[in-house]
């Protein structure tokens, strides 16, 4: 099994919020049976996925280029068709507590 990539600041903070709340998500979880798509964090039993998006300030990151946006759309739509609930957050949303609040609400 490959070593997961280093956590971004937003991912690190979300993982910390999970640990504080007693949650242990799987990192870099490959969810699709034939594609190599992965979620940043996944709770496979509940089929909840959390994606922490990268650059959002107009800096030309992968998620802001047409090909990146299109690739993400295919990935997220495929996940929904497989029964996953996909939550997407910016690092600022994670810091504000929105990500962990939503996950905790969905876990009820």
Residue-range domain boundaries for the chain? 9-107
pTM of the model: 0.86
- pLDDT score, position 28: 96
For residues 34, 24, 4, 76, the Cα torsion angle rounded to the nearest 10 degrees is: 40
- If one compares 60 and 17, the residue with the highest pLDDT of the two is 17
Q: How confident is the model at residue 3 (pLDDT cuts 50, 70, 90)?
A: low
Read off the pLDDT of each residue in 37-62 and give the average, rounded to a whole number.
83
How would you write the chain as a 3-class SS string? CCCCCCCCHHHHHHHHHHHHCCCCCEEEEECCCCCCCEEEEEECCCCEEEEECCCCCCCCCHHHCHHHHHHHHHHHHHHHHCCCEEEEECHHHHHCCHHHHHHHHHHC
Q: Please say whether the beta carbons of 38 and 30 come within 8 A.
A: yes
Helix axes 98-107, 9-20, angle to 10 degrees: 40
Q: Which CATH architecture has domain 9-107?
A: 3-Layer(aba) Sandwich (3.40)
Read off the pLDDT of each residue in 82-94 and give the average, rounded to a whole number. 98
| 11 pLDDT higher than 90 | yes
> What is residue 7's predicted lDDT score, i.e. its pLDDT?
84
């Amino acid at each position: 099994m490959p070593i997961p990539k280093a956590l971004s600041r937003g991912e690190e903070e979300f993982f910390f919020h999970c640990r504080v709340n007693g949650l242990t998500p799987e990192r870099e979880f490959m969810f699709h049976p034939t594609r190599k798509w992965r979620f940043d964090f996944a709770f496979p039993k509940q089929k909840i996925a959390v994606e922490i998006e990268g650059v959002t300030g107009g800096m030309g990151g992968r998620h802001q280029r047409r090909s990146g946006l299109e690739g993400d759309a295919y990935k997220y739509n495929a996940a929904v068709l497989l029964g996953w609930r996909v939550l997407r957050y910016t690092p600022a949303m994670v810091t504000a507590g929105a990500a962990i609040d939503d996950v905790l609400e969905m876990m009820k």
